Amino acid sequence: MREIPPIEDLGEGLWSIPVPVPHNPIGFTYVYALSAPGGPVLIDTGWNHDDSWEALVAGLARTGHTVDQVQGAIITHFHADHSGLTGRLREASDAWIVMHPHDIDVLARLTARDPDERAASVIEQMARAGFPTEDIDAFRASPLLFHPPAPPNGALADGERIDVPGLDLRAVWTPGHTPGHLCLHLPDRNLLFTGDHVLPRITPHVGQFPLDSTEGDPLGDFLTSQTRIGHLPEADRMLCLPSHETRFTDLLTRTRQIREHHEERLTLMVSLLAEGPTTLWELTSRLEWRRPWEAMRVPARHMAASETAAHLRTLEKRGLIKRNGSLDLPRWAAVTTNPRPE
């Protein structure tokens, strides 16, 4: 478990409040509190757990505020470690909650489906990906559970300024990690809240859902977003405040490193697929991950497969690979003729 860092006063009414994610290797999520007329504004809320809520309330007390004084929260993306406490916050403070419209749409689709129906859909996808029976049975015995947060009561689109007097905080849409991921730019202080889009040491998860979807291109969107965010005005001198790990500078260099990492991964996949048609499971199990494949539990293997699928989708869009085989068990192979991008 990661050590939880201290609450920090970052100056001029800005605080970082690490909110723990109990029993999870991620450790914590930074919630940022900005002082403003009418009460503080939060960037994200943290995980939905009693310990997390107590940490958020205690952190706000350190800033000189009570939770009922919070006027609103901007959610960088819908994942539970960022949005989980929206319901408790709204009950305690009547705060407004905003999120990008695309993530609002994702939440609406997820909550419209019964949990058993969602689990059955994932199992079907795993079978089509070539997962062995023992992995599917293990997933069936302990499926991924999604606990939706309270729905936002407002939307914040790309380029919009949050409607709070004296706070020039602007949304920068950075799809990839989720369809509606937002970074938040505070230009008068040359600060950028990067959420999970840009982290100083690791690259965030970018997955394709459903695993065998032929729609969209989340990794392509992510790479484009990296380029865009890295060219914000004064990016070379900007202080970046991520949701995990540590603060960092030199945004242009970090975004280039992230793009290069994924391009190397894409090149490796083409070389592996040149050896012959391969299922999603076969390819995923051959790649290098932070933990050895044999030591990964099935939910982690599913996440790894979704990341591999996102890379495959980008390669398809670039015309470098194609799908073969049946719809029940598709295989991917490298294109041997000169490809033409779509």
Confidence of residue 327 (pLDDT cuts 50, 70, 90): confident
For 311, the 3-state DSSP assignment is helix
Domains in the chain, start-ordered, CATH in brackets? 8-108+147-258 (3.60.15.10), 114-144+273-334 (1.10.10)
Burial of 291: CB neighbours in 10 Å, binned 0-12, 13-18, 19+: exposed
Percent of the chain with pLDDT over 70: 98
CA dist., res. 241 & res. 10, Å (int): 11
Q: Is 105 helix (H, G, I), strand (E, B) or coil?
A: helix
CA distance 56 to 62: 10
Task: Work out the pLDDT band at 142, boundaries 50, 70, 90.
Answer: confident
CA distances from 303 to 46, 310, 313 (A): 21, 11, 15
Q: On the CB side of 330, how many CA atoms lie within 13 Å of its CA?
A: 17
Tell me how crowded residue 271 is: count the other CB atoms within 10 A of its CB: 9
Kindly report the pTM of this predicted structure. 0.95
Region 157-167 average pLDDT: 94
Please determine, for residue 207, whether its predicted confidence score (pLDDT) is greater than 60: yes
Question: Which residues make Cβ contacts (< 8 Å) with residue 80, sequence separation at least 6?
Answer: 47, 48, 146, 147, 149
